[in-house]
């Protein structure tokens, strides 16, 4: 059973559970060493087209998938044929398989690929446990650039451009990078300096209502060029009292965003990332909404995991990633080799 993201990971001062934190330190050193060893020994494969990796240095909750969608649209607008490649976390298909929202379910291809395929009609979204096999399959189907959703710590494919997405929200005493601890003692997948050293740019993703990022966070991410983007709601949240719920990396951010957008949120239920919507969980949510005389609202990522009948009962609240300076993003993408060049 997948556990919720420990919120104490993101507390720098007055951290709860200090003894547990210290006990986990040796495991974090082992994790960091194993990650570094895997990357150093990797023999990346060139699939024959540019590979743009959109990854992160922390575990979940950065907003990476909306960034992937925005970059796919910009590549398509530039005249390229991008194919998004995902591992398909939570899905049963090993792939390679091109995601078709009309016949695939989240249980087969994963919630994020299904969400991307539905949001980007006409663009190819692939899932594959073997990323090399997935990239080659996409190229055979006509892709001239691979947009790798996650994979900053995976050396299987040769990356032309490596972009790292970082959460830029610093509120309620939380810090997106924690105290610099690597999993399981903290949220980092690898030491910060090591991850930044392989990045061509950092995308700092801010909530819509935050005017500017914390200067200290900007300084911590210094080195690669820093691009700013924001999570913008695609519309107003549903009217009337609502019970919100989310099974994402940082569900508390969804609650804050709904309240900031003016949602009359009477209660909120948090679940682990990619949580399956079992009958017992759905009944509990339905009972909670009935007790409050409220509707149900969730993220698009959670909505695609719902059984079809429940999609009629629950309102999805979509968001998109919008760059503060789209020209800076396009300048990065223009560095990619064009077909036939």
pLDDT digits (tens, 9 = 90+) for 232-287: 999 899 999 999 999 998 999 999 999 999 999 999 999 998 899 999 999 999 99
If one looks up domain 51-229+321-333 in CATH, what number appears? Answer: 3.40.50.300
How far, in Å, CA of 254 to CA of 341, rounded?
Answer: 44
Half-sphere exposure of 248 (CA within 13 A, CB side): 22
Q: Residue 247: what pLDDT?
A: 92
CA–CA separation, 146 vs 130, rounded Å? Answer: 14
Which of 28, 30, 37 minimizes the C-alpha distance to 181?
Answer: 28
The pLDDT score that the predictor gives to residue 14 is 64
What is the Cα–Cα distance from 277 to 299, expressed in whole angstroms? 13
pLDDT at 2 (0 to 100): 65
162: which strand partners?
Answer: 53
CA atoms within 13 A on the CB side of 294: 21
Which stretches in the chain have pLDDT values below 50?
none
CA distances from 104 to 84, 107, 127, 312, 330 (A): 16, 8, 11, 18, 32
Neighbouring C-alpha atoms within 13 Å toward the C-beta of 43: 0
At 170 the pLDDT is 87
pLDDT at residue 193, rounded to an integer: 96
Quick one: tokens of 146? 């691979």
């Amino acid at each position: 059973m997948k556990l919720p993201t420990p919120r104490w990971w993101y507390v720098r001062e007055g951290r709860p559970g200090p003894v547990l934190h210290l006990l986990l330190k040796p495991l974090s050193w082992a994790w960091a060493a194993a990650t570094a060893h895997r990357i150093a020994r990797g023999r990346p494969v060139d699939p024959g087209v540019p590979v743009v990796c959109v990854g992160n240095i922390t575990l979940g909750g950065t907003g990476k998938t909306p960034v992937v969608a925005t970059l796919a649209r910009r590549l398509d607008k530039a005249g390229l044929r991008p194919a998004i490649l995902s591992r398909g976390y939570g899905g049963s298909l090993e792939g390679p398989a091109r995601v078709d929202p009309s016949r695939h379910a989240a249980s087969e291809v994963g919630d994020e690929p299904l969400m991307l395929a539905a949001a980007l009609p006409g663009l190819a979204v692939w899932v594959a446990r073997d990323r090399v096999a997935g990239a080659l399959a996409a190229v055979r189907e006509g892709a001239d650039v691979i947009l790798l959703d996650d994979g900053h710590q995976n050396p299987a494919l040769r990356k032309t451009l490596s972009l790292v997405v970082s959460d830029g929200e610093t509120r309620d005493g939380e810090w997106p990078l924690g105290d610099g601890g690597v999993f399981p003692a903290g949220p980092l997948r690898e030491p910060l300096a090591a991850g930044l050293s392989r990045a061509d740019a950092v995308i700092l993703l801010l909530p819509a209502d935050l005017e500017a990022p914390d200067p200290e966070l900007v300084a911590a991410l210094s080195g690669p060029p820093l691009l700013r983007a924001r999570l913008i709601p695609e519309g107003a949240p549903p009217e009337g009292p609502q019970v919100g719920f989310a099974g994402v990396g940082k569900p508390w951010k969804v609650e804050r965003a709904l309240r900031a957008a003016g949602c009359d949120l009477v209660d909120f239920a948090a679940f682990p990332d990619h949580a399956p919507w079992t009958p017992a969980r759905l009944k509990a949510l339905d009972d909670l909404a009935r007790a409050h005389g409220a509707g149900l609202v969730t993220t698009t990522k959670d909505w695609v995991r719902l059984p079809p009948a429940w999609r009629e009962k629950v309102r999805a609240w979509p968001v998109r990633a919008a760059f503060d300076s789209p020209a800076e993003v396009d300048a990065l993408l223009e560095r990619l080799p064009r077909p036939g060049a």
